Amino acid sequence: MSLTQPLSGQHAVGATQIVVVSGGGHGRELADIVRAATVNASDHSKLLGVVDDGDVDLELLSKMGLRFLGSVKSMRRREVQLLFGVGDPRTRAELDHRTGWGSPPAIQHPTATVGSRCALGPGSVLAQGVHVTTNVRIGRHSHINVAATISHDCTIGDHVTVCPGVTLTGNVTIGDGVFIGAGATVLPGVTIGAGAVIGAGAVVCRNVDDATMVRGVPARRVIQL
């Protein structure tokens, strides 16, 4: 896990030019978070626009005031930092490994809170209403979505997706590439292995193996991925 310097409730946007990869729904949400963080931060960061290798709704982007800049490859010779606006952890990891461009800033929406002795990895994102308490570590390009709570002494790996309304209680360990569905709760001391998928609304009471899908209350294994 690659981490930035510890944060203490500050906005982690460096003086850089930012491009969001993906013009889809998650990418547009991320663009709004970047703009809010930039407006409220005392620096000179700037969201240049959006890139995407697929089809995008140019009219919708225009209405949002977002410039479409072309393909991901078109950014290769430009002095920019990429943030990956895709919800799937595997796709985000593939984009990160394929581009390999530096250490983008961590992004914290102004309504998110971060307690003492916490650290956010490059490209990590805290969305609206997220609460991170104390002694929490969040890895590279991991996304903590709207109104999620990350309690004390949690460790979250790289390229993790934490969906809206998730609660990670104390001393939880999340491996790389995990997807945690909306409204799930992970109880104290639980470890979730790399590449696992936690179903929406699940209550995870015991450790989850790598590359395993669980769901339900209490969560039980559905399939080995």
Nearest by Cα to 30 from 39, 20, 40, 38: 20
Residues 114 and 89 in one domain: no
Mean pLDDT by 10 residues, the chain (225 residues): 39 67 95 86 74 93 94 84 95 89 86 97 96 98 98 98 97 98 98 98 98 97 87
- Strand 131-132 vs strand 113-114: parallel, antiparallel, or unpaired? parallel
Degrees to nearest 5, angle at CA 180 with 107 and 189: 95
- The number of C-alpha atoms within 13 Å of 59 and in the hemisphere containing its C-beta is 0
Nearest by Cα to 106 from 11, 23, 9, 17: 11
Token pair for 155: 């460790």
**Quick one: pLDDT at residue 224?**
84
Q: Is residue 57 part of a domain?
A: yes
Q: Is residue 1 part of a domain?
A: no
Cα–Cα distances in Å, from 61 out to 38, 46, 143, 147? 19, 17, 22, 25
**Quick one: pLDDT at residue 15?**
59
**Quick one: pLDDT at residue 101?**
62
Domain boundary residue among 76, 99, 122?
99
**Quick one: pLDDT at residue 76?**
80
**Quick one: pLDDT at residue 41?**
57
Q: Is 152 a catalytic residue?
A: yes
Domain boundary residue among 69, 99, 129?
99
CATH code of the domain containing 23:
3.40.50.20
Nearest by Cα to 217 from 194, 185, 195, 190: 185
Residues 73 and 138 in one domain: no
Domain boundary residue among 40, 72, 99?
99
Active-site choice (11, 26, 152, 159): 152
